[in-house]
Amino acid sequence: MPASENHRGSVRRLTTTDAAAYRALMLEAYATHPSAFTTTVDERAGLPLGWWEERLGADAGGTSVVYGAFDEAGMLVGAAGLSFEARQRARHKATLFGMTVATTARRSGFGRRLVLAVLAHARSLETLRLVQLTVTEGNSTAQALYERCGFQVFGVEPLAIAVDGALLAKVHMWCDLRGAPAR
């Protein structure tokens, strides 16, 4: 998919050359918004750069792809990934993961552009029928964004993650790729 550009920066698929910037962005997101992610800084900080490169899905048969949002100065300020199911009976599904936009770049439309780029990528793959995600219950801003992009709630998982001694629920959402794309 070509890069999405406007006067506020661009959105494009990340490559291995973006791995260090992607790592830094995600570690900052895990630290700044711990309740938004299942992963912690400690779990990811020690991983080699090669793990982050692999996560970007540079290989044609990779298990994931990641899109990034870049500000006018060319700095990576947001990311959202798509992971693919390996099991034969679940290959029609993919999962949106690691959605984040840096605090300095919020309210610039990057979140919506990232989600729509991931969905456009998913729609370009004949084998995919749906994309699912989870959002921490109470994160109404993120949930509303996903709903505007075509996701629907299908359930809530109670006690899904433990953050600083609190057990938080996750709202499960899905988007039918054959439905009308969000605009």
Is pLDDT of 101 > 80? yes
Q: How far apart are CA 124 and CA 143, in angstroms?
A: 24
Mention every residue, 6+ apart, whose C-beta is less than 8 A from residue 158. 167, 169
Give 97's strand partners.
81
C-alpha distances (whole Å) from 182 to each of 4, 51, 71, 149 are 15, 32, 23, 5
* Mean pLDDT score, 106-124: 96
Q: Encode pLDDT of 36-45 as tens digits.
A: 999 999 999 9
77 contacts 69 by C-beta, under 8 angstroms: yes
User: Residue 118 domain-assigned?
Assistant: yes
22 contacts 79 by C-beta, under 8 angstroms: yes
User: Residue 32 domain-assigned?
Assistant: yes
12's tokens: 């494009």
Helices 110-123 and 140-148: crossing angle, nearest 10°?
50
45 contacts 24 by C-beta, under 8 angstroms: no
Q: Which of 142, 139, 53 is nearest to 96 (CA)?
A: 142
Q: Encode pLDDT of 19-34 as tens digits.
A: 999 999 999 999 999 9
Answering whether pTM is above 0.85, one says yes
User: Residue 85 domain-assigned?
Assistant: yes
How many independent structural domains does the chain possess?
1
Is pLDDT of 134 > 90? yes
Q: Encode pLDDT of 48-67 as tens digits.
A: 999 999 999 766 667 999 99
DSSP 183: -
**Helix H or strand E encompassing 119:** helix 110-123
Give 134's strand partners.
172
Give me the pLDDT at residue 130, please. 97
Q: Which of 54, 78, 56, 53 is nearest to 65 (CA)?
A: 56
User: Residue 182 domain-assigned?
Assistant: no
User: Residue 171 domain-assigned?
Assistant: yes
DSSP 16-42: GGGHHHHHHHHHHHHHH-GGG-SS-HH
Query: Which CATH number does the domain housing residue 118 bear?
Result: 3.40.630.30
User: Residue 63 domain-assigned?
Assistant: yes
In whole numbers, what is the pLDDT of the chain averaged over residues?
Answer: 93
User: Residue 91 domain-assigned?
Assistant: yes
Of the chain, the percentage scoring pLDDT greater than 90 comes to 87
**Structural domain boundaries, residue 32:** 4-176
169 contacts 157 by C-beta, under 8 angstroms: yes
User: Residue 181 domain-assigned?
Assistant: no
> What is the pLDDT confidence band of residue 182, given thresholds at 50, 70 and 90?
low
